[in-house]
Every structure is written in C-alpha cells, then in structure tokens.
Structure 1
C-alpha cells in the first residue's frame, strides 16, 4: 500500500501517526508538495478525483480518501493495538470524542491558519481577517474546555490512547504555525502534550 501525504497538514499527519502507533511498516509514504500543486496533477487526480490528501492507494489499485475513513480501514486490517475502541460502547465513545475534536478544535484551527497566515495564501486565495479572528477565538475557547476535561484523565477518550488523541495532537500542532502551543495556562493539556511527545505518534514529523 501507498499513502500520499503532505508535510504540516493535520489530516495526513493524523494517518501517519495512526500508522506509527500501530507499528505498521509495510506502507510506503509519499509526500506531496501542496504549494507546488503536486496533488492537482492528472496522475494524482486519477487516484483522488478531488485532489484530497491523504489518499491511501491499495495494492489492487483502489484508493481511499478522508483521514478517518483511511484509519477505519487500517484498524480493520491491522487490529492490534486497537485505536478505535474494543467493544460497542468504546467505539461509540471514541467516535464521539474524535468528532468533538474535529469540529471544536481542528476545524477552527485550520480556518484560523488558512485565513490568518500569509504563507497559506496560495491555498486560501480570499483570506479574511475576520474569519481568522473568529475561528481563533473559538479554538482557544474550546482548548480551555478540553483542558478542563483532561483534569482527571490521561487520554482524550477512555483509559487508553485512541485515534481521538491523534486527532487532537494533529490539530493542536498545526497551530504552531501561529506560535501557539499548550502552556501553563492550560496545564492539563500541556501535561497531555508532553506525554504524547514521548509516544511514536509524537515523533512523527509535522
């Protein structure tokens, strides 16, 4: 199998961290330059019609896009260690928290970066400072909420590492572009981030 990824983008990193935590070694990772438009070539569009990154190309030529769908496939093919729950309740709980992270942290941070960072102008041609400010405020409000949730737990969902932790890490680390990261104002999130840095996922390059 071959995974088409891209540096710094949170969605591809979510998958590469998932691969790292699974200990999967037989997937080739191909990095594309989004600024150069390598994801928009006819050759790549044959694999991913909407030019989406990440894209997982299977050995039989079929392709999957959407980071959560790719991780769901990998969870089925490489079931150990389980990163999406071990029973019906855990799977639902993990999905609940994973969706919360996507909608409440990752999406606002992505919109903040796309509209607020000059380096992102090639990807977001109509940057809007108001959109950046609004999403920054939303992201910081939700970061404080997640910090409170971590006051009495080690991981985002349940009692072990799951995809929800990986989604959170990918989203928060994307905000480094604006020189933001968890600090003493969010002590529980900082403790969690420091713990994640020591895991295989934390050693995956942005």
Structure 2
C-alpha cells in the first residue's frame, strides 16, 4: 500500500490518525498542498480530482475518500474496531461521521476558503479555480458555531460521539474542531463537555502525528 499525505491539511490528517490507531505502517508520500503539488501532472495521474488523502490498495486500486480508506483498512485489520462493533454502533458511527463532515468540516472549510487570502481563487478543493464568496464565509462561521453547540449537546450525554468507545466519528469531529483555529474558533468556556472531549482525544498518541 501507498498513502499520499499532506501534513498540514485536515482531511489527510484524518486518514493518518486512523492508520496510526490501527497500528499500521504504510509507505507514505508527502504532497504539499501549499506548493500546489496536488495539481501537478504526476499526482493528477493518480487522482484526477486533485484531493488528498489517497491510498493505493494492495491490489493497486485508488481510494481517495476518508470513508473509503477507513472501510478498506477496517476490513483488512478489524482490530481495534473503529467503525463500530455491532449493527447499532456501526449505524451511530456512520451517522455521526456524516454529521461531522457535513455540518462541521464543510462549514469550517466554507468559512476558511471564502475568506482567507491564501485561498483566493481556490474556494473549493480540486482541479477548478473558483472565486471566493464572502457571504459564504459569513454563513460558514454561523454553521461552525452551531456545530460546536451540537457537539457539546451530544457529548453531554455520551463520552464519545457514537457511544462509549473512540471511533472514526471522533477522529473526524476532532480534526475539524481543531482545524477551526484557522477561522479563530475554539471550544468556549461554556462548552465544558466539548472541551473535555477534545483534551481527552489530544492525549492519544495518534493525534499528535
């Protein structure tokens, strides 16, 4: 297997944490988004969508979405289970992972990519050059704040997002809440459950990679 990573970006960080939690050592190649290497011909030959992460499977197939990478690796290495231990838990993991992606990751990306000077002309990841829309940045900030409130409410009733154990849903939500620093958003003092959960996850060895 070959893992294409970018050490500064949130999406490949999710896969990197998943790989570490599985205790796997996979050949890794660094692709610098800051230098535009994801749009170079050599990488576009691997992933024409110009996004990271990418995992080349043992059979030589290309997986370019976090859920696909996690599903593949979990099937090969079921322990420790990160996608759920039974049907009920699997459903919760899938649901909360989708919530974290759609209501968290997309909101934070919307706010960041439509406002930060470094993202001018690059309002969406991928091969297209798209202009920033300031109104979307404002909307993204509101959506991100609502996501933090959603996490606080959930974590007030559950130690982890999908239940009583750490899963892919926690990886996704943690990476995005941590990345929210780029839009100057952090868990507030009046969000104690979110803050405690984030501190608990930050202590895991995989998180610092």
Aligned Cα root-mean-square deviation (Å): 1.5
**TM-score normalised according to structure 2 size:** 0.91
Shift of 1:7: 2.7
Q: 1:197 is matched with which residue?
A: 202
Matched length? 203
SS at match of 1:116: coil
> 4+ residue stretches of structure 1 with deviation over 6 A?
none
* Rounded Cα–Cα distance in structure 2 between residues aligned with 1:78 and 1:194: 27
Mapping of 1:90-169 within 5 angstroms?
A: 90-121=89-120, 123-124=122-123, 125-169=130-174
Distance verdict in 2 for CA 1:13–1:122, change over 3 Å: farther
Deviations 1:56-100 (A, max 9, x none): 012443211111111110111111000000112211111011111
* Rounded Cα–Cα distance in structure 2 between residues aligned with 1:122 and 1:9: 18
In 2, are the aligned partners of 1:35 and 1:122 still within 8 Å (CA)?
Answer: no
SS at match of 2:82: coil
In 1, are the aligned partners of 2:158 and 2:164 still within 8 Å (CA)?
Answer: yes
In 2, are the aligned partners of 1:75 and 1:83 still within 8 Å (CA)?
Answer: yes
Of residues 154-163 and 3-12 in structure 1, the stretch that sits farther from structure 2 once superposed is 3-12
* Rounded Cα–Cα distance in structure 2 between residues aligned with 1:127 and 1:186: 31
Mapping of 1:55-70 within 5 angstroms?
A: 55-70=54-69
SS at match of 1:4: strand
Distance verdict in 2 for CA 1:157–1:113, change over 3 Å: same
* Rounded Cα–Cα distance in structure 2 between residues aligned with 1:120 and 1:138: 19
**TM-score normalised according to structure 1 size:** 0.92
Shift of 1:122: 5.3
SS at match of 2:171: helix
* Rounded Cα–Cα distance in structure 1 between residues aligned with 2:19 and 2:121: 29
* Rounded Cα–Cα distance in structure 2 between residues aligned with 1:40 and 1:59: 25
Instruction: Extract unaligned runs of 5+ from structure 2.
Output: 124-129
* Rounded Cα–Cα distance in structure 2 between residues aligned with 1:30 and 1:180: 31
Deviations 1:7-31 (A, max 9, x none): 3322111100111111112x02222
Instruction: Extract unaligned runs of 5+ from structure 1.
Output: none
